Structure 1
Amino acid sequence: MPDMPDRFPLAPGLEISRLVCGLWQVADLEKDGTALDPVAAADQLAAYAAAGFDSFDMADHYGSAEVITGELISRQPGGTPVRAFTKWCPEPGPMTPEIVRAGVQERLDRLRVEKVDLLQFHWWSFEDPRWLDALHEMEKLREEDLIGAIGLTNFDAAHLEIALEEGIGIVSNQVSFSLVDRRAAGALSELCARTGVKLLAYGTLSGGFLSERWLGKPEPAEIPDWSRMKYKRFIDAAGGWDVFQELLAAAHGIARKHGVSLSNVASRWVLEHDAVAATIIGARITEAEHRADNLNVFGFALDAGDHAALDAVFAKMAPVPGDCGDEYRKPPFLTASGDLSHHLDAIPPVHPATPDAALPDRARVFTGSAWEPVAGYCRAIRVGNRILVSGTTATHGQSHAVAPENAGAQTTYVLDKILAAIRAHGGGPEHVVRTRVYLTDAEDCEAVSRAHGRVFGTVCPANTLLEVARLIGPYKVEIEAEAVLPG
C-alpha cells in the first residue's frame, strides 16, 4: 500500500493531493445550530494533513469549515502547507468590484490567510449574466495575488467554455462524477482535453452508498443525513435500487480480484479519467476515518475486464439527466433538500418587465443594450399571451461582445439572455414556439445547432437557420424567438 496519496500540479505553485478531504459534512454536523469547537476539529484535520491528505475543500456555506481550516492553517508556519480550496456561492445580484472583493475578503478572513489557494465560484442561474462580472473581478483579484487560482463549481461545459473564451484563467471545475453519475465523462471531459482545465470530482462514493456496507441490503426507508439524502436521489435517477445493487455487485467482484475495497474501485474508476485531477472524499470529523483504506486506490489499476464488467451494468442504468450542475438549476433537482424551484423562483429577474400604461395587454423588457434607446426597441415585448424577442447578440451590458471568436459560446450566452427576457414575462423555455438563427459562417452551423439543442431539445420549437453576409459588430450569431403563454 502506498504511504501517501499521489499528487497533482493543479496550477503553478499549487500541488494537491489526488484525494482531497471534503468538509461539506461540517454543515451537517452543525445543522442543529451548535458549531464545532474549531480547535478540537482542527486537531482532527491535522492528522489528515500529517498523513499527506493536506488538501481540504470547503465553501462559504459549509458551516464553520473555513474557520476550522483557518485554525489549522494558523499552526503551519514553516511546515507542510495546508492546501485550502473554498467556494464563493453568492446570491444572484450585482457583482460590482466592491461586492466581489468583499466576498473574497470574507474567505481570507475566515481562513486567516493572505491568499486563497483555490477559490471556486458557483452561480445559481446563468440567465443572470452577472456571473461574468464576478469572474472578471475575480481575475483582477488573482492578479493582485489575493487568489492563487480560480476554479468553478457545478458549471456545465457550455458555460465553462464561455468563461474560458472571456479570458478567465480557470484551472478547475468541481462537479459530481461517479459510477452512478457519469455526466462529466462526456462534453465536459472533451472540453477539458482541449483546454487543460481539470475536474475535481465530488460524490465519487455517492455519500457512502458505494461501499460494501450497502451491498445486498434493502433500500433504505429513512435517511438521516444530508449527504446520503442527496445521493439517494442520484441512485433513483440512475435507475433505482435494484440496478444499483447490480453495480455494487460488479464493483465488489472487481474489488475482491484486486484485494481492495469496493470504495477503492469507485474512486479508482473516476481517477483514471484524464480530465480528473482529484476526487473529494468526505471527512466526517467526529467519526472514524478511512485514510489507510483510501490509500489503496493508488496501488492498483483497472484492466479491460474490470471496465467490461462495469460497462455491462452501465448499459442497464439510466443516464442522470442533463449536464453537470443542472441538478441545482432545473428539474429533477438532485440535491439534499430536493426541489429548489422555490429558491430559484424567488430570484428577481435581472431586467423586469415594464407594463405599458396605455395598452394594458402589453409589457416590455429592456436589457440595457446601448442600441435599445437609439433604435427605439425593447428586448422582448408581451402582447396578450405572445412574447416576441428581438434579434439578440452576445452583448454583455451596454456593449461588451462575449466570446467574439466562438459561435457556439455566443449562442449559449444569447439563449440565456433570451430566456431571461421570456422569464421576466412569466414564461420559460417550454413556451418557446419559434426561433430564428442568423449565422455569418455556415461552418458554425453544428456548434450553434448543438447549443440550441441543449436548450430546446425537448421543446422542439419551429426553427429557421440562415447564413447572412454579416452582422453589426463582432458577432457570429444573432437569434430571435417567440413564445406563447398558456391561455
Structure 2
Amino acid sequence: MTQPAVPRIQLNDGFSIPQLGFGVFKVDPNETERIVSDALEVGYRHIDTARIYGNEAGVGRAVADSGLPREELFITTKLWNDDQGTQSAFDAFDASLDRLGLDYVDLYLIHWPAPANDRYVETWRAFEQIRESGRVRSIGVSNFLAPHLERLIDETGTVPAVDQIELHPQHQQPETAAFAEAHDIAIQAWGPLGQGKYPLLELPEVTDAASTHDVTPAQVVIRWHLQRGHILFPKSNRRERMAENFDVFGFELTSAEVDAITALEREVRVSSHPDEMN
C-alpha cells in the first residue's frame, strides 16, 4: 500500500519535521514496542516520547525492529523538570539516548519551563552544547508561554525550533502562538483532540463537517490542525484508530469550516498551567 506523503514543516534551523506524528504519552511501557511498531507500519514516521513517560526504551526497540532507515524517522524526546541544569541535562540526555538506542535524536525539548526553579535558561545553554555535539539536530521547548520564550531568546540569542503546547480548538493559546509565529518558532499541538475531557468531538461545528466530508469528528479536528499549520501527534493504542487518524489527506475543510472550528475557543486547559508546573 502506498502511504500518503505527510507534509513537512520547515524549522528555523534548516531541518524539517513531519507535520503529523504519533505520540506515546501515557502509553504503558510494556505495550510501547507493539504500539509504536503498529504506528510505523501504518505509516507514521514522527514519534514523540519523553523521559517522564517511561517508555523511551520501547520506542527504541520498535525503531530498531522496524527495519526503516534512520533518516526516514523523526524522533523527539524531552528533559524532565528535575533534570534541569547543566550537568544534569547532559546526563539526562545521555540516558535518554541510551534508552532509545540511537546515535542522535531529531528534536530534544525542555518539557516544562518550571519557572519557580529558575533553571530553564541555564538548561537551554546546555541544550545549545548538546546540539553542537551533533547528537541532537533541533532543540526546542514544551509548554513555554510567551514570557518564557522571550526571556530565553533575550538571554541566550538562540530561538527554539519548536514550542510544543497544549492546543486544541477549545484552547488555542493565541498569545503564545502569535509570539511563536513572529519569531519563526513552529507550534506543536499536544492534546490535539482535547484528551476527551470536553465534548469537542460532539460539537456541531465538528460533527457537521464530519458528515459533509464522510469522515470522523477526530479526522476533522486533525485536519483543522493541519490546515492551521500546526504539527501534531495524536495517540491511540488501537491500530485501526491509528490508521484512521493518519487517513486525513484525502479531504480538505472549507475556510468556513476552519473558521467555525477556530471560533470554538473557550480557554479550557486540560493540564497544568505552565507557571504552576514546577
Superposed pair shares fold, TM > 0.5: yes
Residue number in structure 2 paired with 1:146: 135
Judge conservation of contact 1:89–1:122 (CA < 8 Å) in 2: yes
After TM superposition, give the deviation of residue 151 of structure 1 in Å: 1.3
Aligned residue for 2:117, secondary structure, equals coil
Judge conservation of contact 2:171–2:266 (CA < 8 Å) in 1: no
- Which residues in structure 2 correspond to 1:24-423 (within 5 Å)? 24-26=25-27, 29=28, 35-36=29-30, 41-63=32-54, 65-75=55-65, 76=67, 78=69, 81-91=72-82, 95-96=85-86, 98-123=87-112, 125-165=114-154, 166-183=156-173, 186-207=174-195, 209=196, 232=197, 235=198, 248-274=203-229, 276=230, 278-284=231-237, 287-310=238-261, 314=264, 318-320=266-268, 327-330=273-276, 344=278
Classify 1:307/1:46 alpha carbon distance in 2 versus 1 (closer, same or farther; 3 Å). Answer: closer
Specify which structure has the bigger relative contact order, considering alpha-carbon pairs within 8 angstroms and separated by 6 or more residues. Answer: 2
After TM superposition, give the deviation of residue 43 of structure 1 in Å: 4.5
Residue number in structure 2 paired with 1:407: none
Aligned residue for 2:168, secondary structure, equals coil
Q: Which amino acid aligns with 1:299?
A: G
Residue number in structure 2 paired with 1:456: none
d(CA) in 1 for partners of 2:80, 2:138? 16
Higher helix proportion, which one? 2
Aligned residue for 1:53, secondary structure, equals coil
Classify 1:61/1:52 alpha carbon distance in 2 versus 1 (closer, same or farther; 3 Å). Answer: same
Q: Which amino acid aligns with 1:147?
A: V
Aligned residue for 1:36, secondary structure, equals helix
Judge conservation of contact 1:3–1:295 (CA < 8 Å) in 2: no
After TM superposition, give the deviation of residue 133 of structure 1 in Å: 0.6
Higher strand proportion, which one? 1
Residue number in structure 2 paired with 1:451: none
Q: Which amino acid aligns with 2:208?
A: G
Residue number in structure 1 paired with 2:20: 19
d(CA) in 1 for partners of 2:20, 2:253? 18
d(CA) in 1 for partners of 2:234, 2:259? 26
Residue number in structure 2 paired with 1:387: none
Classify 1:13/1:109 alpha carbon distance in 2 versus 1 (closer, same or farther; 3 Å). Answer: farther
d(CA) in 1 for partners of 2:239, 2:38? 12
Residue number in structure 2 paired with 1:405: none
Deviations 1:173-228 (A, max 9, x none): 11111122122xx1222222222110111111122x3xxxxxxxxxxxxxxxxxxx
Deviations 1:321-340 (A, max 9, x none): 7xx9862443xxxxxxxxx7
Judge conservation of contact 2:112–2:141 (CA < 8 Å) in 1: no
Classify 1:60/1:192 alpha carbon distance in 2 versus 1 (closer, same or farther; 3 Å). Answer: same
Deviations 1:391-433 (A, max 9, x none): xxxxxxxxxxxxxxxxxxxxxxxxxxxxxxxxxxxxxxxxxxx
Judge conservation of contact 1:46–1:72 (CA < 8 Å) in 2: yes
After TM superposition, the score normalised by the length of structure 2 is 0.86
Residue number in structure 2 paired with 1:362: none
d(CA) in 1 for partners of 2:191, 2:45? 19
d(CA) in 2 for partners of 1:117, 1:271? 21
Aligned residue for 1:201, secondary structure, equals strand
Classify 1:142/1:308 alpha carbon distance in 2 versus 1 (closer, same or farther; 3 Å). Answer: closer
After TM superposition, give the deviation of residue 254 of structure 1 in Å: 0.9
Judge conservation of contact 2:143–2:165 (CA < 8 Å) in 1: yes
The count of aligned residue pairs is 275
> Percent identity over the alignment?
22
Aligned residue for 2:122, secondary structure, equals helix
> Looking at CA atoms only, which structure, 1 or 2, has the larger radius of gyration?
1
d(CA) in 1 for partners of 2:71, 2:135? 21
d(CA) in 2 for partners of 1:282, 1:78? 23
Classify 1:264/1:142 alpha carbon distance in 2 versus 1 (closer, same or farther; 3 Å). Answer: same
After TM superposition, the score normalised by the length of structure 1 is 0.51
Judge conservation of contact 1:250–1:310 (CA < 8 Å) in 2: yes
d(CA) in 1 for partners of 2:83, 2:63? 31
Q: Which amino acid aligns with 2:247?
A: N
Deviations 1:119-177 (A, max 9, x none): 11123531332211111011011101122110111000121122223222411111111
Residue number in structure 2 paired with 1:399: none
After TM superposition, give the deviation of residue 60 of structure 1 in Å: 0.4
After TM superposition, give the deviation of residue 299 of structure 1 in Å: 2.2
d(CA) in 1 for partners of 2:106, 2:118? 26
d(CA) in 1 for partners of 2:128, 2:78? 15
